[in-house]
Amino acid sequence: MKIKGEIFKRWEFIIFLLLLLEILVFGFFNSSFLNIKNILYSTTDFAHISLVALPLTLVIITGGIDISIASIMGLTSIVIGSTWSLGAPIQVAVSLGLLSGIAAGTFNGFLVAYTDIQPLVITLGTMFLYSGIATGIAGSLGASGYNGIGDFPEGFLSFAYGSIGFIPSSMIYIILFALFLGFILHRHWLGRSIYLIGVNVNTALYNGIKVKLVIVLTYTLTGLGSAIAGILLTSYFTSARSDLGSEALLPALTAVVLGGTNILGGSGTIIGTFIAAIFLGILKQGLMALGVTNNVSQVVIGLVLIVAVAAKLFFTKLKMNSGNSKIQTE
Amino acid sequence: MIHGEKIPDSEMRKDLVELNGIWKSFNGVAVLRGVNLDLKSGEIHALLGGNGSGKSTLMKILSGIYRKNAGTIRISGEECNFLNPSQAHESGIYLVPQEPKIFPNLSIEENIIIGTSYTLGSKTEEIKKMGQQLGFSESLSRPAGILSIAGQQLLEILRGLLRNVKILILDEPTSTLTFREVESLFKQLRNLKNQGIGVFFISHRINEILEIADRVSVLRDGNFVLDKPVAQLNETTLINAMLPDDRISKKIEETSQKKIAEGLAPLLKIRNLTGEAFNGISFSVMPGEIVGLAGVVGAGRTELAEGIVGIDKNVTGEVIIGNESFSQRSPGRSRKKGIVYVPEDRAAHGIFLDLQNLYTTSSSILSEMGKLFISNKKERQLGEYFIKKLGIKTNGPKQISRTLSGGNQQKIVISRAMACNPKVIILDEPTRGVDAEAREDVYDIIKSLIDLDVGILLISSDLEEVIRLSDRILVMYRGEIIEELSKDESTIERVTSGAFGVAG
């Protein structure tokens, strides 16, 4: 009974209610929105954002930030495209793409953990670094920025377009990745260390937590998520381009914050980011379906973010007050 | 209420503050239950009481930070019901908080005049003059961030003086000061007193209260249980007044000395350890032994501890555990070798205030909380075990640590160290900011540890505490151990003189 009550008091539950409400509202205007299949497919356009927002949650809980995620997607894409066009088998090309994303993330992590420079500044620098490398490789292969590198085999293209039953494969990747990260964050010592660092990095250090290792790993995981997103986008657009996913940063940050993660670190959950990302994906699709222009939908998303965060602050205060009185009376 | 005998000239002095029947409750729990208190001009009135006894709340009501629920406040005879701190300032009340609030990037002068209508430079001479009287020698144009805590406290007092303070409230002003700084603060307080300023002095240090105060009031559970001139009081009467009635009968006695068996090998040997703040330190800790490390703040004790467990890595010399030399030290590796450090600054280095209690308890042994994943059950059992064992007053292992009292937070920090199952624990100021009852509990915990043959290095600025608990005392002065005293040789005089560089 007690656990049940706890769930209803959680921010994730409120976001989930908002998601249901959102579907009902859009369904009111367009009944096809009430079809589960449509709902699931409407999230594919947003899949790459979910894939980076999930590990980015870990980085932000430690008190860090990574704004190079979009560049890592582009870099991954170009590494796949260039190795493929140079004659490597697609499996090798994809593996190299994945590795380049992981390496880029790990490099971010090392710089953050071993220097005193703020993560924002470091990843701002590597954002330019990675996109510079990607454009450089693309240019040296003579691929135009607009068309990119194409002619991928059928099998690779099914990566983004496949499905199991009525569940699109991109949704399956997101769910698997979310489960993996959820276990890491909420059940593994690494995840606990992430919270401890976010709440008080000095206490974590004094208590023997491997602070530097943990920080590096959070950025490595974000690199991994960006790389998977980059692979997905390359498959989705059937061409490798250095600017793939370049618009992903702000929606990904929005999903993390909307999901209840404190932008200053210390709190947040994977399920929160997961639900918030779906919420944003459907919001964008729904507005589009209603004929709202892209500019206006940006305004709506911005407003939703601010209202939601303000509501969350109000909500936590309320919860804290009731919590305090409980402590006093017991 | 017990009234002291008449002090002739206090009859003539006017009452600066009269508080009558002050009630205050938070969330329905009464913290102050009809408290009466007064302050005369030129009087230093010490307030003593355990954590949570209500003294800080009372002072916050007086300085306009909290609002009372009932009762009357008279300032210089006039009834005032403050609405906010600036009105309190106008009435000449200034509270110097325990942690001075400064703007580190602004200059000292800017910090002093901030919030007044004075322009920069218009009060420079006046501030300089007041500063000189207080023994404050720093140039006013330097950033305030360079000041030591003692300097920041003087800055706070200067803020008050510039605002023509009549009633100065000092909340534990000496807890972060060295002996010498305390002496100089007391000199200044006597100066202020002679100018007719009344001072409320909140402290946990009884000997300081006996030295500086004219009158002492003891607050317990929201009521004053004692209000007497200092001449009628001594340490025992004050301690007994603070303790709950059922504790009075329990005599404060010497720690029963555990016999340290002959021929045992030391658990920890330090050889010629040298770092930035300490030089050529050598000593050893035996099983079941409490080695006290005394000295003034800044003598290098905390830095030494941090060098031993590898928080500070720029250290030369040798740390030997058992027979093995232990290099490449870090807190995590030290824990595995059996040495844990309970840091001095609880909030900054010891506890995760915004998380559940058990998260701090388990933080050093996460890898032992389950194979692949942390076992909820195992972790909760660990939390519950220590709550019971250490007598931690909390709703349970899942309560957020911030909502606990200082003493119980300290026990959570100690539970983290004990969960590591250590051979040696370095306790750095384990009873700072801890109320009298929890202090006794901490001493009991220390006793239970030495019964298990754990070695303890006890760093403390509380001389009575070091002397009472330690089997041996090392006195540090300016980064070196200048004296080693056996139990029999340890007296307050000898330890104090050693701490000031006068070896016996």
What pTM, to 2 d.p., does this model score?
A: 0.75
pLDDT in tens, A102-128: 999 999 999 999 998 999 999 999 999
User: Tokens at residue A124, please?
Assistant: 């701002």
User: Do B349 and A325 make contact, defined as CB atoms within 8 angstroms?
Assistant: no
Residue A181 contacts B where some CB pair is shorter than 8 Å: no
What pLDDT is attached to residue B3?
47
A161 falls within a domain:
yes
Go through A257-271 and write b for each residue having 16 or more CB atoms within 10 A of its CB, e for each that does not.
Answer: bbbbbbeebbbbbbb
B467 and chain A in contact, CB less than 8 A: no
pLDDT, position B411: 94
What is the distance between the alpha carbons of residues B214 and B46, in angstroms, rounded to a whole number? 8
pLDDT of residue A323: 47
pLDDT at B272 over 90: yes
* CA nearest to A329 within chain B: B29
What is the DSSP secondary-structure string of B369-380? S-SSS--HHHHH
The number of distinct structural domains making up chain A is 1
For chain A, the straight-line distance linking the first and the last C-alpha, in angstroms and rounded, comes to 19
| Lowest-pLDDT choice from A236-245, B26-35, B438-447 | B26-35
CB proximity list for A152: less than 8 A, separation 6 or greater: A84, A90, A234, A235, A238, A239
Burial of B84-114, coded b for 16+ CB within 10 Å and e otherwise, reads ebeebbebbbbbbbeebebeeeebbbebbbe
Mean pLDDT of the B490-498 span: 77
The answer, for A90 touching chain B at a CB cutoff of 8 Å, is: no
Which residues in chain B are contacts of A329 at CB distance < 8 A?
27-29
Sign of the four-CA dihedral B381, B387, B388, B394:
negative
Minimal CA separation from B76 to chain A, in Å: 36
Q: What is the pLDDT of residue B11?
A: 46
pLDDT at B1 over 60: no
Put simply, the answer to whether A200 touches B353 (Cβ < 8 Å) is: yes
Interface contact B352-A200, CB threshold 8 A: yes
- Taking the CA of residue A105 and the nearest CA in chain B, the distance in Å comes to 24
Residue A329 lies in a domain: no
Is there a contact between B416 and A207 if contact means CB atoms under 8 Å apart? yes
- pLDDT at A30 > cutoff 90: no
- How far, in Å, are A51, A165, A168, B357 from residue A236 at the CA level? 14, 19, 12, 47
Residue with tokens 């305004």, as numbered in its chain: A299
Q: Is residue A328 part of a domain?
A: no
Burial of A54 (0-12, 13-18, 19+ CB in 10 A): buried
E-only strand ranges, B205-358? 215-220, 223-229, 268-274, 281-285, 290-294, 316-321, 324-325, 339-342
Least confident range from A14-28, A235-249, B172-186, B418-432: namely: B172-186
Interface test with B, best of A181, A203, A322, A327 (most B CBs within 10 A): A203
Q: Which of A184, A205, A207 to mutate to test the interface with B (most CBs of B within 10 A)?
A: A207
Q: For residues B342 and B417, is the Cβ–Cβ distance under 8 A? A: yes
> Residue A8: is it exposed, middle or buried by C-beta count within 10 angstroms (0-12/13-18/19+)?
exposed
3-state SS record for A201-232: HHHHHHCCCCHHHHHHHHHHHHHHHHHHHHHH
Tens digit of pLDDT for each residue in B11-56?
446 788 999 999 988 766 678 988 999 999 999 999 987 656 788 8
| Range from B225-229, B365-369, B494-498 carrying the lowest mean pLDDT | B494-498
> Does the distance separating the beta carbons of A328 and B27 come in below 8 Å?
yes
Q: In the sheet where B167-171 sits, what is the strand order?
A: B93-96, B167-171, B198-202, B44-48, B215-220, B223-229
Give mean pLDDT, residues B87-111: 87
User: What's the confidence (pLDDT) of residue A203?
Assistant: 96
How far A252 CA lies from chain B's nearest CA (Å)? 26
The rounded mean pLDDT for chain B is: 84
A234 within a domain of the structure (yes/no):
yes
Q: For position B249, what pLDDT does the model report?
A: 36
What is the pLDDT, as a whole number, of residue B253? 43
Of A256, A269, A199, the residue nearest B356 (C-alpha) = A199
Residue B236's pLDDT is 74
- Region A63-69: mean pLDDT is 96
- Confidence at residue B260, expressed as pLDDT on a 0 to 100 scale: 59
Domain span including residue A91: 2-318
Residue among A187, A188, A203 minimizing CB distance to B351 = A203
| Residues B401 and B387 sit within 8 Å (Cβ to Cβ) | no
Tell me the average pLDDT across B230-242: 80
Q: Minimal Cα–Cα distance from A52 to chain B, Å?
A: 24
Please report the pLDDT score of residue B501 as a whole number: 65
Share of chain A above pLDDT 70, in %: 92
Using the beta-carbon criterion (under 8 Å), do B352 and A196 form an inter-chain contact?
yes
Our CA angle for B125, B126, B127, nearest 5°, is: 90
Residues of chain A numbered 10-29 and touching chain B (CB < 8 Å) = none
**Segment holding A280, helix H or strand E:** helix A270-289
Q: Report B:334-363 residues touching A (Cβ under 8 A).
A: 334-335, 341, 343, 348-355, 359-360, 363
Contact assignment for B395 to A330 by CB distance below 8 Å: yes
Q: Does residue A208 fall inside a structural domain?
A: yes
Query: Cβ–Cβ of A199/B354 closer than 8 Å?
Result: yes
Q: Which tens digits make up the pLDDT trace of B124-141? A: 888 888 888 777 778 888
The pLDDT value recorded for residue B122 is 85
What are the chain B neighbours of A327 within 8 Å (beta carbons)?
A: 395, 399, 403
Which of A206, A326, A330 minimises the CB distance to B311?
A206
Average per-residue pLDDT in chain A? Answer: 88
Average pLDDT over every residue of A230-252: 90
- ipTM (interface predicted TM): 0.84
Amino acid, single-letter form, for residue B153: Q
Residue A330 forms part of a structural domain = no
Evaluate whether residue A307 is within a structural domain.
Answer: yes
Task: Report yes or no: A322 at the B interface, CB cutoff 8 Å.
Answer: no
Name every residue whose Cβ is closer than 8 Å to that of residue B15 and which is 6 or more positions away in sequence: B38, B39, B40, B74, B76, B77
A110 is a domain residue: yes
A324 contacts B363? CB cut-off 8 A = no
In tens, the pLDDT along B337-394 reads 999 999 988 989 999 999 999 999 999 999 888 878 899 899 999 999 999 999 898 8
Q: A135: domain CATH number? A: 1.10.3470
Which helix H or strand E contains B95, and what residues bound it?
strand B93-96
Handedness of CA B93, B97, B100, B101 (dihedral sign): negative
pLDDT recorded at residue B250? 36
pLDDT of residue B312: 92
